[in-house]
Amino acid sequence: MSAASHKSKAEPLLPIDKAAERPLWVVLIIMAFLAALALLSARMGDRNYSALQSELAGTATLQLKGLTPNNRLDIAQQALSLIETTAPNVNAQRVNDADAAALIEPWIGSNVNNLPSGITLPVLISLSNSTASEREALARAFNAAAISAVIDDHSEWSSDLTRASRAFTIGSYLILGLTFFAGTAATIFSVQSAMSAQSKTIAVFAQVGTADNFIARLFIVRAIKVGAAAAIIGALGALLFLALFRVLRGPSENGLLPSLTPTLFDIVMLGALCLVFALVCAVAAGVSAKQILSRSRLYT
């Protein structure tokens, strides 16, 4: 192929005005960054929720009541024996006094050896691997043995956790949708501006019989390139932000803080997000360009 034909092929039919495109780049990168953060938040939130639910499954806390300092250890022993005989599959472990004291520290302070008269440090027994019917059987057994006990199966906490997690996930996906919407709006605005700026060129395209689809494709290709590049930059920015956030937050010493480590599947999902983001930009550009061309047809 000759040099000239090669040059002609390389010449873009629409000029790329980098200065005019800069605001679009900024908006799309920010939108992609927020979209990536929203996606990662939704996925990590969901993962942490599942982990907590899995941890809570089959667990319960048994609290012995009506104890005195003199009988608390004996009753604790009786309770453990009763659990072993009533529900042999359930793992029961007495929470040591230090941990029990830590649980009630917000109410009575740190000096558990000097509790007010009439208040006894509670005895807590942690149950795991228990089913609902086993917990009901235990409650009946404790009642029959005249041991005052309350079994908390964490269902309230679990229910709160489910609601909070669901709200967080829905919120994250809504934000994700909004960012796509904003990216679409920015792309449409940019296409309108570009078509207005290039009206003379587009009129010449029409004069030489260029189909609307061909003209629209020029904007689609540009939108795909800008959208994909902006999405990749935004997604990398979100990963960087997350890493920085982890450093600032510090490690989760007691396991209560959610894990902020993205998995390989999260990265794959971010790749898919970049692709979808670019496609959304392309569709927005194509539809917008075709609408404008359709409005300005036939008679230029």
Partner 1 sequence: MSMSSSPEPQKLSTQDIVRFDRVGLRYGRGPEVLSDIDLSLRAGTFNFLTGPSGAGKSTLLKLVYLALQPSRGLVSLFGQDISRLPEKSLGDMRRQIGVVWQDFSLIDHLSVYANVALPLRVQGAAPQTYDRNVRELLDWVGLGQRLDASPRTLSGGEKQRAAIARAVISKPKILIADEPTGNVDPEIGHRLIRLFGEMNRMGTTVLIATHDRGLIDQVPARVLHLQDARLYEEVPS
Binding of residue 196 to partner 1 (CB under 8 A): no
Interaction between residue 1 and partner 1 (CB under 8 A): yes
- Tell me the helices (H) and strands (E) count for the chain, helix number first: 9, 4
Please tell me the distance from the alpha carbon of residue 39 to that of residue 177, in angstroms, as a whole number: 10
What is the nearest approach in angstroms of partner 1 to the Cβ of residue 197?
12
| Cβ-Cβ contacts under 8 Å for 288 (sequence gap 6 or more) | 187, 188, 191, 192, 219
Nearest to partner 1 of 24, 202 (CB atom)? 202
In the set 59, 126, 212, 246, which binds partner 1 (CB under 8 A)? 212
Q: Which of 209, 248, 251, 264 binds partner 1 (CB under 8 A)?
A: 209
User: For 87-131, where are the alpha helices, taking DSSP H only?
Assistant: 97-108
Choose which of 132, 164, 204, 267 interacts with partner 1 (CB under 8 A).
204
Q: Which is nearer to partner 1, 5 or 89 (CB)?
A: 5
Considering the rule CB under 8 A, would residue 300 count as an interface residue with partner 1?
A: yes
Q: Within 13 A of 269's CA, how many CA atoms are on the CB side? A: 17
SS3 123: strand
Q: Which of 33, 142, 205, 277 binds partner 1 (CB under 8 A)?
A: 205
The nearest distance, CB 29 to partner 1, in angstroms, is 27
**Strand 149-152 versus strand 123-128 pairing type:** unpaired
H or E element, residue 53: helix 18-56
C-beta of 17: minimal distance to partner 1 in Å?
A: 10
Q: How far apart are CA 243 and CA 260, in angstroms?
A: 8
Residue span 152-191 as binding mask against partner 1, x where in contact by CB under 8 A, dash where not: ----------------------------------------
CB atoms within 10 A of CB 79: 22
Site for partner 1, rule CB under 8 A: 1-2, 4-9, 11, 13, 15, 200-201, 203-212, 214, 294, 297-300
